[in-house]
Amino acid sequence: MMTPRANPGRGATRTAFACAGLAIGMIGLAFASVPLYDAFCKATGYDGTPRQGPALAASAARAHDSMVVHFDTNVAPGLAWKFAPEANRVEATLGETKTVFFRVQNTGSKPSTGVATFNVQPGLMGSYFVKIACFCFNEQTLQPGETLDVPVVFYVDPAVRDDSNTAHLSEMTLSYTYFAAKNGQPVTGSVANSASSGSKGDF
């Protein structure tokens, strides 16, 4: 009695379908991983990304302990804006809500749209710098010469003192960079106004 032989063509077809399915799955995972990674960073403070959350109760503040927060502002090439904080640094009582305003101005000759990204240094402080409200990732369109004041509301989590990696720190830096925006996302390109690159300081 002869044993039926496997159809090599059918096996190859199955393999091709399996490979195609795997490729499609990997592409879908790549697209999904971006918002998932962003959400993970905001929830945990990973990689210097400030956490997002509500304000703490007043009783949680540590009146005799504070952190000096420095502000670094930049404008990427391609966006003719000036960008500066109202103060270059503040002393923030741990757990206490703090509000700091930043001023942006369109120094170009036509309307333009920008969006700000941010980071905290040292990166370990991302877990303890908590944003309650922020202008970052919100598109702003400014007319020529228009000026806008935008706030960031935050607190430094008192738990920073319970972490052996950060307990000794007394200073940190919150850094923002404004980029030209397209469809809500920061973009880079040719320099629209080279004078706007890295703009800092008072108006």
Domain 51-196 has CATH 3.40.50.2000: no
Give the chain's radius of gyration (CA, Å).
24
What pLDDT does residue 182 have?
80
Tell me the pLDDT tens digit for each residue of 48-92.
455 666 676 666 777 799 999 999 999 999 999 999 999 999 999
Q: Which pLDDT belongs to residue 186?
A: 77
The encoded tokens of residue 35 equal 């918002």
At 61 the pLDDT is 75
Q: Is 44 in contact with 34 (CB distance < 8 Å)?
A: no
Token pair 């972490």 is at which residue? 163
pTM: 0.67
Q: What is the pLDDT of residue 193?
A: 39
Predicted local distance difference test score (pLDDT) of residue 137: 86
Decide if 200 contacts 176 (C-beta within 8 A). no
Please tell me the predicted confidence (pLDDT) of residue 169. 96
Q: What is the pLDDT of residue 63?
A: 79
Token couple for 120: 């905290």
Rounded CA separation 186/183 (Å):
8
- Low-confidence residues in the chain, pLDDT < 50: 21-48, 190-202
